[in-house]
Every structure is written in structure tokens, then in C-alpha cells.
Amino acid sequence: MIFDFDVFVIGAGSGGVRAARMAASEGARVAIADDRALGGTCVNVGCVPKKLYTYASHFSHDFENAKGFGWSVASAKFHWPTLVANKKTEISRLNNIYANLLDNSGAQIIRGYASLKDRHTVTVGGTNYTAERIVIATGGAPNIPDVDYADVLISSDEIFDLLEFPKRLLVVGAGYIALEFACIFQGLGSQVQVSYRGDLIMRSFDDDVRRFVDQEMRKQGIEMNYQSQVSNVDRQADHSLLVTFADGTSTEVDQVLMAIGRKPRLTGIGLEALGIETTRQGTIAVNDKFQTNIDNIYALGDVTGGIELTPVALAEAMTLVNHWYGDSTKYMDYNLIPTAVFTQPNVGTIGLTEHQALKEHGEITVYRSDFKPMKHTLSGSNERSFMKLIVDTTSDRVIGLHIVGEGAGEMLQGFAVAMKVGATKADFDATIGIHPTSAEELVTMRTAS
């Protein structure tokens, strides 16, 4: 059978674009379809704008900290519309870069929502396209609960472009996305409350990290409410929102950000009609070659329910295309994936938590350091940093590394390389620290805790 394309990619986010470009560079006839702006969640409503807003939010802390260094900072004013407009300009620039990258690779961009008609046919805007291989990379979307007041809630998709800056913000949820926005808006001048039905933030992270971040966020004035459940939200005459909680208490805010997780963006794609298997969580089931149960249809990125990080989707795309046109013996390695959380202060983590390490390795040695960074000896800030190493006692390998502090993500990348090649605690100890930096703490911890 002669197909219109060798590869048809549904979804032009990070993973989809990388798969399309790489396949096209191998000489394949490639099409990629999406009804949204190119770049997907990360570029448009995720990592990129979130990091830009994180930068913006840090200035308030910097202005305050500057006084201890002799600076007299005049009254600073934040103008929300300027940030929003400049962000839009930058995102538009990135959208154009993605379009140029795809065009230059030879991949054909098809605008519109794509759905599967059969195992070799994709329909976009009433037009059918056939392909030998089809890749589903549609990413995820914020999970908004099916409640009567859903229409007054906002998600992380909308929060970047609010017409008015929310002076009072309630964040529902305590995962990393929820906490990043809590810190962003506190830094920009909002009065921020966090509502979480559990007992402590950042459920999958190391317990010491969770407690430390909670402590540092409270220092900033963010109100942390645990075992808290929203029962109703009412729009009032002055356009404010009256939030009622399950325990009968209430609060009045300008916006309620619902950040309780994400779900795969698969509505209307046609999985059921083709009998493509999904997991209990509603994600697409794939094997280690990213194949669904229909062997010419593949899926990668957030829709498969794996680690929801842009670099992971990029690596999966490269692994997938390499299976087709290169070395089919190489598989995706999900071990020791570093990640950063851009709260204030930042979090960087790689490897196992203490609980996981005890379970998997039995005998471990733990090193902890809680200290005031040199910067804050003069700034007057009471912000502290925390670092933790978890070592497998038998092999001496460092199997967990956790940082809370300014620049944690930047610090972590180099240590991630070391851990990936099997660095031991002795290797860390033998490495000369860079002084004076916070990072040197990770190679000077000698006493187990």
C-alpha cells in the first residue's frame, strides 16, 4: 500500500516536534498536526512562561535583600500587563522558531485537531491522511473536577493571561505546579493561600525536602492549609470569590487556581474505535518501543503516564525514531532523571528518597546539611538552604541527592552526570569544592546524620 506519509505525528508539543524533525531528517515523509500553538504545553502554558514569571517574582525578594548590601531601592511597582504582554511576545517568537524548525526539516505542518479513522488513517478537518506509522503525542491538560462551580475556577492554562492581577489567590493542590504558582504570585504581590486535602506538600518527594519547603514557604507569608477541602465557590456581586471549605470555614479571594494534577489529552482522538488499550489511569498503554497494541501506532510523552517532563518526552522521541532508522537495541533509560521545582527557594532532586532507598537497599547512610547561605548573612533574609545525600552503604554509591536553595536546578545538573556514571561518596569527598558557594556543601559533608 502506498501511504501519503511515512510518519504522521498527532500533537506538536516537545515530544511530537522532536519525533517529526528527527524522522524527517532520516528522509521520511512526515506530517505533524495540532490545533494549538506549536510547542505544546511547555512552550505555551508550561515550563517557559512559568520560568519567566518565576524570574519576575524574584525581584521583590531581591529588592528587599539589597538593603543589607547598602542599596537604597526606591519604591518599586509591579505592572502585571507589561509582564503578560512581554511573555506573549516571547512565546510568539518561540512558536515561529518551532514552525521554522519543522519547515526546514521537511515535515509538513497540518493545522487542526487530528483523530484516528483506522490504523493507517488520520482525519484532520474532514481530510483523510494515510501513514505507515502514526505517533500520538498530544500531551496533557489540567484536571478540573466536575463540580457545580467549575466555571469560576482557573487552571495553569489560564493563569498566565488574566486580565487583572489577583491580589488574593487560593491555590488548590500541593504538587510542584501548585507550589510554583503559589511562590510566583506571592513574589509578585498576591496574598496567597494553599489548600491541600493531604497532610504535607509534594507527595512524591523526600520527606525532609517536603518539610523544609513547607517551612520556607510559610516564612514568605504563604498560608499553608492541610486536610483542607473546598466544598463550594461562589461569585459575588463585586466579582470576588467566596470559597467555602468542608469544615464550614470560608475565605474571600480574587481567583481560585485548581492545580490538582493533569490528565492525558485524548478526547476525540479515536482510541476506542480502534481498540487501542489504555491503563486504569486513562493513559495509553505502550511497550518499551512505545508501541500500542496496534503495532504501527505509537505513543510518547505525557499521554503514556510516565514521567511528565519535557526532557523525558524529547528523549523518548529520539529513542523512538532511533528504533526505526538507527540502533533498534537501545531503549529509554528512566533511571536517575534529575528534576527541578522552581519554588522559592528552588528544589533539585535526583535518585531515591530516603524512604525508597531504605526499601530498595536496606542499609543506607544519610548526610544532611541545613544552613543559611552566605548571601543572607547580610541580606537580612531568614531563608535557609537544605542538602541531603543518600548513600548505599554496601557499594558507597550516591543513590539520592536533594537540594533546596537558590539555584538548586543549576547545581543539580552536574551532580546528575556524576550520579549517572555511578559516583560514590568517596568520589564526592575527593572532589575539591568551589568556595564560597552553596554547591560545595555537597562535597564537604563528612558526618552522617
**227 DSSP assignment:** S
Please tell me the predicted confidence (pLDDT) of residue 410: 97
**Alpha carbons 349 and 204: distance in angstroms, whole number:** 11
Grid cell for residue 68: 543589607
Please, what is the angle between helix 80-105 and helix 14-25, to 10°? 20
Please, what is the angle between helix 47-66 and helix 80-105, to 10°? 140
CATH architecture of 339-443: 2-Layer Sandwich (3.30)
Please tell me the predicted confidence (pLDDT) of residue 77: 94
Grid cell for residue 42: 511547555
**Alpha carbons 370 and 1: distance in angstroms, whole number:** 65
- Amino acid letter, 399: I
Please tell me the predicted confidence (pLDDT) of residue 1: 84
- Strands (DSSP E) contained in 308-346 are 339-341
Grid cell for residue 399: 543513590
195-212 burial code (b ≥16 CB/10 A, e <16): bbeeeebbeebbebbbeb
Helix (H, G, I), strand (E, B) or coil at 59: helix
In CATH, the number for domain 150-260 is 3.50.50.60
Please tell me the predicted confidence (pLDDT) of residue 211: 98
- Check whether domain 5-140+263-325 has CATH 3.50.50.60, yes or no: yes
Please tell me the predicted confidence (pLDDT) of residue 233: 98
Please tell me the predicted confidence (pLDDT) of residue 127: 98
**Tens digit of each residue's pLDDT, the chain (449 residues):** 899 999 999 999 999 999 999 999 999 999 999 999 999 999 999 999 999 999 999 999 999 999 999 999 888 999 999 999 999 999 999 999 999 999 999 999 999 999 999 999 999 999 999 999 999 999 999 999 999 999 999 999 999 999 999 999 999 999 999 999 999 999 999 999 999 999 999 999 999 999 999 999 999 999 999 999 999 999 999 999 999 999 999 999 999 999 999 999 999 999 999 999 999 999 999 999 999 999 999 999 999 999 999 999 999 999 999 999 998 888 999 999 999 999 999 999 999 999 999 999 999 999 999 999 999 999 999 999 999 999 999 999 999 999 999 999 999 999 999 999 999 999 999 999 999 999 999 999 999 99
User: Is-contact 433 439, C-beta < 8 A?
Assistant: yes
The residues annotated with a catalytic role in the active site are 435
Please tell me the predicted confidence (pLDDT) of residue 329: 87
Asked if 5-140+263-325 and 150-260 have one fold, the answer is: yes
Q: Dihedral (C-alpha) 125, 15, 57, 170: value to the nearest 10 degrees?
A: 60
Helix (H, G, I), strand (E, B) or coil at 118: strand
Please tell me the predicted confidence (pLDDT) of residue 105: 97
Place of cell 526532557: 311
Cβ partners under 8 Å of residue 191, min gap 6: 167, 168, 169, 221
DSSP H stretches of helix in 225-384: 271-274, 310-325, 354-361, 376-379
**Alpha carbons 431 and 322: distance in angstroms, whole number:** 36
Q: Where are the domains of the chain?
A: 5-140+263-325, 150-260, 339-443
Q: What angle do CA 190, 178, 251 make, to 5 degrees?
A: 50
